[in-house]
Amino acid sequence: MSTPAAGVGTSASPGTSREEESVRIRAAGPASVRIVVAYGFWIFLLSDIIMFSALFAAYAVLSGQTAGGPTAQELFDIRRAGAETLCLLFSSYACGLGELCIHRRRMGGFYAFFAATLVLGCAFLALEFNEFASLVARGAGPSRSAFLSAFFSLVGLHGAHVTIGLVWLLFMVAQVAAQGRKDFVLRRLHCFSLFWHALDIVWIALLTLVYLIGAR
Amino acid sequence: MNQEPTASLEPSHDKAPGIGEDAAPESFLAYTAGLVFALLLTGASFFVAQSHLIWGPGVPVGLAVLAIAQMGVHLVFFLQLSTGPDNTNNVLALAFGVLIVTLVVSGSLWIMAHLNANMMPPSAIMEMRAK
């Protein structure tokens, strides 16, 4: 291990040199479980986003292949997309505030904000299901054209993520109620909130590409 | 050692997304500011998509920029990602993810565009040349 007296590195401040700092960090050992878990989940989320990007690429390639059927301009309602966006955005906000509440032991606030997250997430799913049902009823289902297959795959995958997220939310609220603020419960709750924020990020890309650019 | 959620008791020098100095007022302000910025950017996106103030061919680029900005707002305010030295791992992981996404999307678009052009029947190629 190099020592400060070896004079290898440059040090800007007279207090601690780079070597001292790195020695101190190395001696502190690996990061805490909480940080390792969150970092690992972050890497998983990035891999999930890569999976979404493959479907985004498929949609971008196939968005013009309407096989003589209905096009994006004819099918998509921009106001419904706006309502879905607001639902997800506010549910992300509520999730964040709920996590703040549980860290400060405000359990009433935690349950209230997570109830709001659930309600807004369900509202989003209801709007999306409504849209899918009306598209299928108009003969614009996923088998109508390559464009529609790509649309249903991409938006459907996001909706499936939201659905699984809401099931996870119910499990987490039940765990908090049953187990209290134990360490592992808080770690899982934090992973859920990371997941929920990431779904909102994917929705931003989806909204822009499919509804705003595609439906012009 | 008691693993309390408050970051001030953490011995290590690393942070993970969302785990940081969550002192009471600052995190609430971060979330609220993020919400406000995200609402503004969403409103701007819808406005750009529907108004005639922006030059037509520039609208998709404008929308893409607004979307990237809003994703950045989410990352910074909701996921509390920063560029400090304790966040290096997270930023590097994100940069790698962005690299792969860029390769997948732009690579697919490029390849499919070329495939499309190369599979055009000779009559269609003549038509394109004539235009």
In whole angstroms, give the CA distance from residue B102 to residue A148: 24
State whether residue A207 sits within 8 Å of chain B by CB: yes
Say yes or no: ipTM exceeds 0.95: no
The Cα of A144 is separated from the nearest Cα of chain B by a number of Å equal to: 21
Query: Among residues B39, B65, B68, B62, which one has the least CA distance to residue B49?
Result: B62
The single residue listed with the structure tokens 């785990």 is B19
pLDDT value of position A6: 41
CB contact under 8 A, A28 and B12: yes
Nearest CA in chain B to A104: B24
Q: Are residues A56 and A148 in the same domain?
A: yes
Q: How confident is the model at residue B27 (pLDDT cuts 50, 70, 90)?
A: confident
pLDDT value of position A30: 82
Calculate mean pLDDT across residues B1-15. 48
pLDDT value of position A1: 43
pTM over 0.90: no
CATH code at position A59? 1.20.120.80
CB contact under 8 A, B93 and A212: no
pLDDT value of position B7: 42
Q: Assess contact for A91 and A117: CB atoms under 8 A.
A: yes
State whether residue A46 sits within 8 Å of chain B by CB: yes
Q: Are residues A9 and A56 in the same domain?
A: no
Task: Look at A15-24, A25-34, B10-19 and tell me which has the smallest mean pLDDT.
Answer: B10-19
B69 has a pLDDT exceeding 70: yes
A27 has a pLDDT exceeding 50: yes
Nearest CA in chain A to B22: A100
CB contact under 8 A, A31 and B74: no
Q: How confident is the model at residue A13 (pLDDT cuts 50, 70, 90)?
A: low
Q: Are residues A1 and A93 in the same domain?
A: no
Interface A-B, measured as beta-carbon pairs within 8 A, has a size of: 147
- Over residues B84-115, the pLDDT tens digits come to 777 888 999 999 999 999 999 999 999 999 98
- Over residues A103-158, the pLDDT tens digits come to 999 999 999 999 999 999 999 999 999 999 999 999 999 999 999 999 999 999 99
Least CB-CB distance to B27: which of A54, A85, A100?
A100
State whether residue B7 sits within 8 Å of chain A by CB: no
Cβ-Cβ contacts under 8 Å, A194 against chain B: 17-18, 79
CA dihedral in degrees (B25, B27, B33, B38; nearest 10)?
Answer: -160
Q: Are residues A52 and A9 in the same domain?
A: no
- Over residues A53-81, the pLDDT tens digits come to 999 999 999 988 888 889 988 899 999 99
Q: Are residues A39 and A56 in the same domain?
A: yes
In whole angstroms, give the CA distance from residue B131 to residue B129: 6
Q: Are residues A114 and A145 in the same domain?
A: yes
Q: Which residues in chain B (12-31) have CB-CB distances under 8 A to chain A?
A: 12-19, 22, 24, 27-28, 31
Q: Are residues A25 and A108 in the same domain?
A: no
Q: Are residues A101 and A38 in the same domain?
A: yes
- What phi and psi values does residue B19 have, to the nearest 5 degrees? -110, 110
Q: Are residues A146 and A77 in the same domain?
A: yes
Q: Are residues A5 and A59 in the same domain?
A: no
State whether residue B86 sits within 8 Å of chain A by CB: no
Q: Are residues A147 and A202 in the same domain?
A: yes
pLDDT value of position B20: 59
The Cα of B14 is separated from the nearest Cα of chain A by a number of Å equal to: 7
Least CB-CB distance to B19: which of A38, A49, A92?
A38
Number of domains in chain A: 2
Calculate mean pLDDT across residues A15-34. 78
Q: Are residues A64 and A83 in the same domain?
A: yes
pLDDT value of position B8: 40
Task: Give the domain range for residue A21.
Answer: 1-30
With the C-alpha atoms ordered B11, B12, B13, B17, is the resulting torsion angle positive or negative?
A: negative
Q: How confident is the model at residue A161 (pLDDT cuts 50, 70, 90)?
A: very high
Q: Where are the domains of chain B?
A: 16-81, 85-131
